[in-house]
Amino acid sequence: MSNLTVISRKTALVFFAACALVLGVATTAADTPPVEVQAAFVQYGNANYGGADTITLQGSFAHSGEAIVLLGTAGDASVVALSDSMLVAICPEGFCPTGDYLLTVQTAYGEGTYPLTLGAVGPAGPQGPEGPQGPAGDPATDTSAATECDLDEVLLGNGSCLSILDLVCLVDAKTVFVTSTESKGNLGGLAGADAECNARADAAGLSGHYKAWLSDSSASPSSRFVPSNCPYYRVDGVMVATDWDDLTDGTLAASIDLDENGVSHARSGWGSSELVWTNTATDGTAIGTGTGATCDDWTLSNNTSGSKGGILDQSNSDWSYSPIFTAYCSDKKRLYCIQQ
């Protein structure tokens, strides 16, 4: 493993790749390591995370919705954004002092360890010679006089500024869909429901790890999901919510009626609307915890117990829980699947 140096910066980022440094590859027996950090950069005073210092890692992160980042003796770095190719973590206690560290990244599928050096900002270099004057620009399209970007923004080639959060969300936006398949209440617990979501995603060629929007007697989306600061989209690119807070505020920007293949399952007429197993309120908490609300933690398929759910072609509060929802555990219903 080679020693790594990340140059600390207090000025605006110019290009994402310009501040990324190549890292050593974690030792693993697999051809493609489940955890592999390829590049990293540190941003001081990241306004998107309360002014804390953050570490952004690029590479490959096979995960189940959770990851741990250790910065040597400095302690745990809190993970705030996670995808298959990018990880953002707040430095221990909110700041990253210069020095040598041993960076460790752990997920449920593997671990990588890398020597890492955080260096101080170097002195400004001398000003170069003045270049020749360019041709006159078109006032309608000229961006040469673009305003300077803020510290939490990136200057793009067209002269506009893009926030670091928006840059991260270009690769970390989440996908949501309703399953093309229908299942009785004996889903095999929450783990079985999650497995069905991932099986549907894999079959459709969707990347990432998914969990079912489903609650049992001990867990719910509010306790087992990784909240995202990035938008949630249907497979057709239509935005459902701007972030986790928007997803759980009671209403959606668009209904989740498309399955993993982009096929709509919305029906005409209120009475024929498709019902979805959820037992979950719009804020992600469980509606009920007993056998009659969870099909005995999603293990029953009889016609004497039942559960609560939502209507997939609705974007009001009925999308997750509708008072008119009536279904026995023997009925076949779909699942909402949310990328983590």
Element (H, E) at 104: strand 99-107
- Report pLDDT digits (tens) over 259-317: 999 999 987 655 556 889 999 999 999 999 887 889 999 999 998 888 989 999 999 99
Res 10 pLDDT > 70: no
Res 219 pLDDT > 90: yes
Element (H, E) at 202: helix 189-204
Provide the b/e sequence for 72-108 (b: ≥16 CB within 10 Å).
Answer: eebeebbbbbbbbebbbbbbbebebeeeebebbbbbe
With H, G, I as helix, E, B as strand and everything else as coil, classify residue 335. strand
Res 2 pLDDT > 60: no
E-assigned strand segments in 156-295: 161-163, 174-178, 210-212, 232-233, 239-241, 275-277
Res 145 pLDDT > 80: no
Query: In the chain, pLDDT over 90 holds for what percent of residues?
Result: 48
Residue 184: Cβ within 10 Å count: 18
Which pLDDT value is given to residue 121?
53
Q: Domains of the chain (ranges plus CATH)?
A: 4-119 (2.60.40.10), 173-339 (3.10.100.10)
Question: In sequence order, what DSSP letters do the residues of 125-137 get, joined into one string?
Answer: PPPPPPPPPPPPP
Res 17 pLDDT > 70: no
Given pLDDT bands bounded at 50, 70 and 90, which one contains residue 28?
very low
Say what the pTM is.
0.56
With H, G, I as helix, E, B as strand and everything else as coil, classify residue 44. strand
Q: Report residue 128 as tokens.
A: 């170069």
